[in-house]
């Protein structure tokens, strides 16, 4: 095996293409992954985790890469990140109002995606289509432009009374997902949720919550040769080595013939990555 890099790992870089193009990020380098499909890959946890914010050593990673002190005080780790409708900025208790102005008080999109069936979600405009790629969606379409993160959370809360807001990761990795008519579902949601959506527009203003009706559904393909016959998830905290033939990549998962691993889960873990393929494309960034 030839080591291609070592250091703190980050979530994979994904570029929209046919199929999506993946790179593994280790410290200051990106390693192209699509050419390695069909090759033997070894990921070894070196026993150290350094906080993605302050770089201090931590025995446990919180919220994908943070130490406990940073997790406890940083605005990006607050509960309102997972539940935007719980935003407490107006109450004067935001962990960092300046950060919130840049991150939360900007346009967000409410979208429908098909990763394991239709789901509703929210994201900042700068994160499209990255958010959909990270989730392994094969189809996606934005359906609302909303003025703030909290308001997008209110819209999502209305819509998830009718559709799911979660992805079943096991189903995601079991095989190809059937396409869905997202435009038809959007129209159904607009009808069934018309009254609560109207109330939100009356509360925040028509300009704050704007339906999107003129965008086509984006179709996304992933570099997968085959899906695992049995879903076994590698756990680097229990066994420091994940190894096998890379048979595909979807969302933030590497699919091996021996199991699967969610790379994003191990953000800030110090890893050594090796392959039997000598032709590895490395890009410094």
Q: How would DSSP label each residue in 135-200?
A: HT-SEEEEEEEESSHHHHHHHHHHHTTTSB----HHHHTTSPPPP--HHHHHHHHHHHTHHHHHHH
List, in sequence order, every beta strand (DSSP E) within the chain: 2-15, 21-26, 29-32, 40-49, 108-114, 118-124, 139-146, 209-211, 218-219, 241-250, 253-256, 259-262, 269-275, 282-284
**Domain spans, the chain:** 2-50+223-284, 107-219
Q: What would the pLDDT profile of 90-115 be if each residue is shown by its tens digit?
A: 999 999 999 999 999 999 999 999 99
> Cα–Cα distance between 106 and 88 in angstroms, integer?
16
Exposure string over 114-138, b if 16+ CB within 10 A, otherwise e: bbbebbbbbbbeeebbbbbbbbbbb
CA distances to 54, 149, 192, 281 from 197, rounded to whole Å, are 41, 16, 10, 49
pLDDT tens digits along 112-140: 999 999 999 999 999 999 999 999 999 99
**pLDDT of residue 247 exceeding 80:** yes
Q: What is the pLDDT of residue 282?
A: 45
Give the dihedral sign, CA 51/54/58/62: negative
Helix (H/G/I), strand (E/B), else coil: 258: coil
Distance from C-alpha of 218 to C-alpha of 227, rounded to nearest angstrom: 23
Rg (CA), the chain: 20
**pLDDT above 60 for 71:** yes
Q: Are the C-beta atoms of residues 108 and 125 closer than 8 Å to each other?
A: yes
| Residue 36 near residue 12, CB atoms below 8 Å | no
Contact predicate 273/5, CB 8 Å: yes
214: exposed, middle or buried (C-beta count within 10 Å: 0-12, 13-18, 19+)?
exposed
Tally of CB atoms within 10 A around 92: 7
pTM: 0.94
> For the segment 21-48, what is each residue's pLDDT rounded down to a tens digit?
999 999 879 999 999 999 999 999 999 9
pLDDT the model gives residue 176: 83
The whole-angstrom separation of Cα 258 and Cα 40 is: 11
The length of the chain is 285
Place of tokens 């994908």: 64
Residue 186: φ, ψ to 5°: -55, -45
| 109, 152 contact by CB (below 8 A) | yes
pLDDT in tens, 193-230: 999 999 999 999 999 999 999 999 999 999 999 999 88
């Amino acid at each position: 095996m030839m080591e291609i890099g070592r250091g703190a790992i980050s979530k994979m870089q994904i570029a929209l293409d046919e199929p999506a193009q993946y790179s593994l990020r280790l410290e200051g380098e990106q390693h192209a992954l699509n050419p390695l499909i069909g090759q033997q890959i070894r990921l070894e946890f070196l026993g150290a985790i350094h906080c993605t914010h302050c770089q201090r050593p931590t025995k446990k990673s919180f919220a994908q890469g943070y130490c406990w002190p940073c997790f406890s005080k940083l605005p990006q780790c607050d509960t309102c990140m997972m539940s935007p409708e719980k935003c407490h900025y107006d109450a004067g208790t935001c962990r960092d109002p300046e950060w919130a102005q840049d991150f939360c008080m900007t346009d967000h999109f409410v979208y429908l995606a098909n990763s394991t069936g239709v789901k509703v979600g929210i994201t900042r405009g700068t994160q499209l289509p990255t958010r959909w790629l990270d989730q392994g969606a094969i189809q996606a379409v934005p359906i609302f432009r909303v003025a703030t993160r909290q308001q997008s959370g209110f819209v999502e809360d209305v819509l998830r009374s009718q559709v799911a807001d979660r992805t079943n990761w096991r189903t995601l990795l079991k095989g190809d997902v059937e396409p869905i008519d997202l435009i038809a579902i959007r129209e159904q949601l607009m009808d069934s949720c018309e009254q609560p959506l109207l109330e939100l527009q009356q509360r925040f203003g028509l300009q704050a919550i704007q339906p999107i009706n003129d965008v086509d559904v984006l179709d996304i393909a992933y570099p997968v040769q085959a899906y695992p016959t049995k879903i076994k998830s590698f756990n680097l905290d229990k066994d420091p080595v994940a190894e096998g033939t890379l048979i595909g990549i979807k969302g933030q998962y590497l699919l091996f013939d021996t199991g699967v691993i969610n790379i994003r889960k191990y953000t800030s873990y110090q890893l050594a990555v090796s392959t039997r393929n000598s032709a590895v494309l490395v890009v410094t960034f």
